[in-house]
């Protein structure tokens, strides 16, 4: 058996927390008739409306067919619309519909509730400290990814995805 390493323990617990957070978010999102994956798409479109489908797939680290299915379902629900791209007739630009706005507000409240549950018993200053430290970890990883793929399209994608 390998000796315990604090660095590896950090990685394991970070992975476990992320997985459990995704599971809990899926449970909570279901009350609105959507999945966590659909929720993520809506939030990303709220921040970056007018993206091409391929750009959004790259940003979310999803296969294009997976994103297409998510978008089809969101469009059927009247939450997302695809508009022609004036610069590329093959591409579609993605926009939220007016019906998505109230849902996003409720999802924002749900996100606050979800994280309130997850962070119960953790002092605000500790949350601020964890956010700052995790931002450093994220930046370290972003730089490592960029260095490995310097000069390639993958580095640009990593910047966009993890930026």
Kindly list the domain boundaries of the chain, sorted by start residue: 6-120, 122-163
Tell me the per-residue pLDDT of 91-113, one tens digit each, with 9 for 90 and over: 889 999 999 999 999 999 999 99
- Least confident span in 29-38, 39-48, 50-59, 144-153: 144-153
For 20, the 3-state DSSP assignment is helix
Whether residue 160 is predicted with pLDDT greater than 70 in this model: the reply is: no
What is the pLDDT confidence band of residue 2, given thresholds at 50, 70 and 90?
confident
83 vs 40: CA distance, rounded Å: 20
Taking the CA atoms of the chain, what radius of gyration do you get in angstroms?
Answer: 18
- pLDDT score at 122: 97
21 vs 70: CA distance, rounded Å: 20
pTM: 0.77
Question: Topology of 6-120 in CATH?
Answer: Arc Repressor Mutant, subunit A (1.10.10)
Tell me the per-residue pLDDT of 39-79, one tens digit each, with 9 for 90 and over: 999 999 999 999 999 999 999 999 999 999 999 999 999 99
């Amino acid at each position: 058996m390998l000796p315990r390493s604090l660095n590896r323990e950090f990685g394991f617990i970070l992975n476990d927390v992320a997985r459990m957070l995704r599971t809990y978010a899926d449970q909570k999102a279901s009350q609105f008739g959507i999945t966590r994956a659909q929720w993520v798409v809506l939030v990303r479109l709220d921040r970056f409306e007018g993206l091409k489908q391929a750009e959004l797939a790259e940003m979310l680290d999803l296969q294009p067919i997976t994103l297409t299915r998510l978008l089809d379902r969101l469009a059927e629900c009247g939450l997302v619309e695809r508009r022609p791209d004036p610069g590329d007739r093959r591409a579609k630009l993605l926009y939220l519909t007016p019906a998505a706005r109230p849902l996003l507000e409720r999802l924002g409240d749900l996100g606050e509730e979800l994280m309130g549950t997850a962070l119960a018993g953790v002092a605000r200053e500790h949350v601020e400290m964890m956010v700052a430290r995790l931002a450093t970890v994220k930046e370290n990883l972003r730089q490592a990814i960029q260095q490995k793929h310097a000069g390639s399209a993958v580095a640009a994608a990593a910047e966009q995805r993890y930026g």
